C-alpha cells in the first residue's frame, strides 16, 4: 500500500522538473516534427481529381464572388445573375437531364479570400469555376485553378492579361481597352465643342489605374490630351481638393475611372461644386447601385456597356423576364447579365460534352480538360448577344453599347438609357 503513493510522488517530481525545464522548447520541437508529417500525410491520400465525377448531387460547378468587403455591390449583382441562370437552366433539364449543382462561395474583396475559396471549390471536385469578381483577385486565384487544371470563366474581370494567365482561364467580360474608348467617342459626337478633359482615378485600385490608362490614351488619340489628372483613394469620401484643383483648369469633359461608391460621391460633389459639363464614367460605375449615391446628379452621365437591357434577342428576353419577375420589374445591370452568361456558357459546353462523352464515364481531371476545350470552341446566344472565344480564352463579343443615365423625377431611381 505504501509503494504506490511513493512511486507516484517520485514520478510527479521528476515530471515536474522536466516540465519546468523545457515545456515550451518541446512544444516548438513538436511543431517542427508535425510539419513534415502533415505534408507527407497530404501527399498520401488518393488524388480527388483522378476519381470519377460525382454526379450524386447534380453536375458540380463552383462560383466565387465578392459578397462581402468593398466590392460586395458587384458580388450581389452577380449572385442574382447566377441564381436566375441556375433556375432557368435547371428548369430546361439541366445537363441533359442531370441538374446543375452550383455552389457559391464568398471571396471577400481581397486576394487571400479568393485563393481560399478557389481551393475549397476545387477540392470539392467542381468541373468549372465562375469568378472571381475583381481582376486583382483573379491575378492571385486564377493561377491556382490553372495549376490544378480547372476551367475558369470570369464574369467580370476587365483588366488586360487575365486570359493570358493560362489555357484554363477565360472570360465573358470584354476588357476595358475595347469598351472604354467607345464612350469617349460618343461623348465627342454629342458635344463636339469639348476641348478640355479632366481625368480622375483611384490610384490604389487596380481596376481604376488600368482603365484610366485606356481612357487617357483614347482622349489623346482624339486630340484631347487631359488638362489635369487627379488621383484619389478607393476609400475616400471627400473629393473637394481634387475637384477644386481640376475645376481651375475649366474642363468641359470629366472622365472618371472609379468604383461605384467613391464614383457616386465624386459625381455628386462635382455637380455641387458647380461643374456643368459632360461626365463619362468607366465600368466600375456600371451598376444601378450608384443611383442612391449620386441621386439626381447621376442624370446624363455617359457609360459604355457590354450589355444593354434594350437588346432585342430571345436570350435577352428570357433573362429580362426572369430578372423582372424576381426583382419587382427592375432593369438588370451588366454584371448580372454577365454572370448569367458565364453560367450559360459553362452549362451549354457541359451539355455538348456530355452528349459526346457522358460525364459519369470520365475522371474529374479528364472532364475538366475536355470541358475547357468545349467552352472555347462554342458560340453562345446570350443576353450579351452572340459571343465566342479566342483560342486563349478572350471573349469575342459583337455588340457594345453606350448608355446615358436617366433619373426619374424623384431622383431616387433611374435607368441606363441606350443611346441610338
Give min distance, CB of 371 to other proteins, in A: 22
Q: Which of 48, 99, 143, 411 binds other proteins (CB under 8 A)?
A: 143
* Distance of alpha carbon 190 from the chain centroid: 32
Segment interacting with other proteins, rule: CB under 8 A, options 20-28, 85-93, 244-252, 268-276: 20-28
In angstroms, the CA 411 to CA 336 distance is 23
Q: Which of 76, 80, 133, 136 binds other proteins (CB under 8 A)?
A: 136
Q: Which lies closer to other proteins via its Cβ, residue 36 or residue 97?
A: 36
- Report if residue 17 touches other proteins, rule: CB under 8 A: no
In angstroms, the CA 239 to CA 258 distance is 12
3-state SS class at 77: helix
- Report if residue 237 touches other proteins, rule: CB under 8 A: no
Give min distance, CB of 124 to other proteins, in A: 10
Q: Which of 203, 244, 357, 379 binds other proteins (CB under 8 A)?
A: 203
- Report if residue 51 touches other proteins, rule: CB under 8 A: no
In the sheet where 401-407 sits, what is the strand order?
A: 228-232, 197-202, 253-257, 278-281, 302-305, 401-407, 414-418
∠ Cα 398 402 408 (to 5°): 135
Residue 312 C-beta-side C-alpha neighbours within 13 Å: 0
Q: How many CB atoms lie within 10 A of CB 149?
A: 17
- Report if residue 42 touches other proteins, rule: CB under 8 A: yes
Cα four-point dihedral sign 269, 271, 274, 276: positive
- Report if residue 34 touches other proteins, rule: CB under 8 A: yes
- Report if residue 14 touches other proteins, rule: CB under 8 A: no
Q: Which lies closer to other proteins via its Cβ, residue 16 or residue 57?
A: 16
- Residues in a beta bridge with 106: 65
Exposed / middle / buried, residue 119 (Cβ in 10 Å: 0-12, 13-18, 19+): middle
In angstroms, the CA 42 to CA 120 distance is 15
Segment interacting with other proteins, rule: CB under 8 A, options 112-120, 150-158, 375-383, 388-396: 112-120
Judge contact between 314 and 321, C-beta under 8 A: no
Q: Which of 49, 120, 331, 417 binds other proteins (CB under 8 A)?
A: 120
In angstroms, the CA 285 to CA 398 distance is 22
- Report if residue 12 touches other proteins, rule: CB under 8 A: yes
- Report if residue 159 touches other proteins, rule: CB under 8 A: yes
- Report if residue 29 touches other proteins, rule: CB under 8 A: yes
- Residues in a beta bridge with 177: none
Q: Which of 90, 96, 119, 177 binds other proteins (CB under 8 A)?
A: 119
- Report if residue 177 touches other proteins, rule: CB under 8 A: no
* Interaction site with other proteins (CB under 8 A): 4, 8, 11-12, 15-16, 19, 23-25, 27-29, 31-32, 34-36, 38-39, 42-43, 67-68, 105-106, 108, 110-113, 115-116, 119-120, 123, 135-136, 139-141, 143-144, 147, 159, 161, 165, 202-206, 208-210
Amino acid at each position: 500500500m505504501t509503494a504506490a503513493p511513493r512511486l507516484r510522488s517520485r514520478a510527479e517530481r521528476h515530471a515536474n522538473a522536466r516540465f519546468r525545464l523545457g515545456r515550451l522548447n518541446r512544444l516548438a520541437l513538436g511543431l517542427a516534427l508535425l510539419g513534415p508529417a502533415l505534408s507527407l500525410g497530404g501527399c498520401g491520400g488518393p488524388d480527388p481529381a483522378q476519381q470519377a465525377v460525382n454526379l450524386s448531387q447534380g453536375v458540380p460547378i463552383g462560383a466565387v464572388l465578392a459578397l462581402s468587403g468593398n466590392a460586395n455591390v458587384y458580388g450581389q449583382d452577380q449572385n442574382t445573375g447566377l441564381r436566375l441562370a441556375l433556375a432557368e437552366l435547371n428548369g430546361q433539364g439541366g445537363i441533359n437531364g442531370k441538374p446543375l449543382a452550383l455552389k457559391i462561395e464568398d471571396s471577400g474583396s481581397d486576394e487571400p479570400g479568393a485563393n481560399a475559396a478557389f481551393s475549397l471549390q476545387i477540392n470539392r471536385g467542381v468541373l468549372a469555376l465562375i469568378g472571381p469578381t475583381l481582376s486583382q483577385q483573379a491575378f492571385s486565384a486564377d493561377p491556382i485553378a490553372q495549376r490544378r487544371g480547372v476551367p475558369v470563366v470570369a464574369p467580370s474581370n476587365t483588366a488586360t492579361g487575365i486570359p493570358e494567365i493560362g489555357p484554363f482561364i477565360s472570360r465573358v467580360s470584354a476588357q476595358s481597352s475595347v469598351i472604354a474608348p467607345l464612350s469617349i467617342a460618343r461623348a465627342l459626337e454629342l458635344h463636339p465643342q469639348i476641348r478640355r478633359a479632366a481625368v480622375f482615378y483611384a490610384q490604389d485600385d487596380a481596376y481604376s489605374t488600368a482603365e484610366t490608362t485606356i481612357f487617357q490614351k483614347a482622349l489623346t488619340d482624339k486630340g484631347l490630351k487631359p488638362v489635369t489628372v487627379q488621383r484619389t483613394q478607393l476609400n475616400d469620401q471627400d473629393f473637394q481638393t481634387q475637384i477644386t484643383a481640376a475645376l481651375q483648369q475649366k474642363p468641359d469633359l470629366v472622365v472618371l475611372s472609379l468604383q461605384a461608391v467613391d464614383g457616386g460621391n465624386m459625381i455628386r460633389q462635382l455637380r455641387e461644386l458647380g461643374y456643368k459639363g459632360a461626365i463619362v464614367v468607366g465600368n466600375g460605375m456600371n451598376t444601378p447601385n450608384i443611383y442612391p449615391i449620386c441621386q439626381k446628379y447621376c442624370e446624363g452621365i455617359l457609360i459604355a456597356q457590354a450589355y444593354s437591357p434594350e437588346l432585342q434577342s430571345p436570350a435577352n428576353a428570357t433573362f429580362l423576364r426572369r430578372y423582372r419577375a424576381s426583382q419587382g420589374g427592375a432593369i438588370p445591370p451588366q454584371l448580372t447579365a454577365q454572370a448569367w452568361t458565364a453560367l450559360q456558357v459553362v452549362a451549354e459546353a457541359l451539355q455538348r460534352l456530355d452528349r459526346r462523352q457522358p460525364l459519369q464515364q470520365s475522371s474529374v481531371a479528364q472532364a475538366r480538360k475536355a470541358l475547357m476545350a468545349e467552352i472555347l470552341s462554342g458560340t453562345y446566344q446570350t443576353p450579351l448577344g452572340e459571343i465566342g472565344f479566342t483560342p486563349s480564352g478572350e471573349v469575342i463579343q459583337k455588340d457594345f453599347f453606350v448608355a446615358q443615365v436617366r433619373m426619374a423625377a424623384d431622383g431616387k431611381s433611374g435607368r441606363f438609357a441606350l443611346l441610338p
